[in-house]
């Protein structure tokens, strides 16, 4: 079963506008972490933002915020005031497990295109 689902293979956004990248997850573990990574065309994986399953408030990091809706099992990434440099692949990931080993599972990614 798919554990992390990103339903948008590609998204377009106008520069300076906000965009939401969708992510839903599936787990029965009460303790888990949700992450977003950015992969620009240069290939590196850049950590953007983290949300813990017990966190009461939505995570924010600069222009990035994570819209965490636990009951709906969604962890959407909101990028405000998009910039041309935001054009990249974005991956949602979930980390779960126990002391036997924590595993991070990645979604298929969403390619974001920012238009000038």
11 binds other proteins (CB under 8 A): no
64 binds other proteins (CB under 8 A): no
90 binds other proteins (CB under 8 A): no
Q: What is the DSSP string of 55-115?
A: -SS--EETTEEEEEETTTTEEEEEE-S--GGG-EEEEEEEEEEETTEEEEEE---EEEEEE
Q: Are 71 and 17 in contact (CB under 8 A)?
A: no
106 binds other proteins (CB under 8 A): yes
CB nearer to other proteins: give 9 or 116: 9
Shortest distance in whole angstroms from residue 80 CB to other proteins: 22
102 binds other proteins (CB under 8 A): yes
């Amino acid at each position: 079963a798919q554990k992390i689902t990103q339903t948008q293979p590609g998204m377009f956004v106008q520069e300076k506008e906000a965009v939401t990248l969708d992510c839903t997850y599936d787990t029965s573990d009460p303790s888990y972490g949700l992450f977003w990574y950015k992969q620009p065309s240069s290939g590196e994986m850049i950590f953007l933002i983290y949300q813990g399953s017990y966190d009461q408030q939505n995570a924010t990091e600069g222009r990035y915020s994570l819209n965490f809706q636990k009951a709906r099992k969604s962890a959407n990434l909101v990028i405000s005031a998009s910039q041309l440099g935001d054009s990249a692949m974005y991956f949602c990931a979930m980390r779960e497990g126990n002391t036997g080993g924590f595993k991070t599972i990645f979604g298929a990614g969403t390619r974001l295109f920012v238009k000038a």
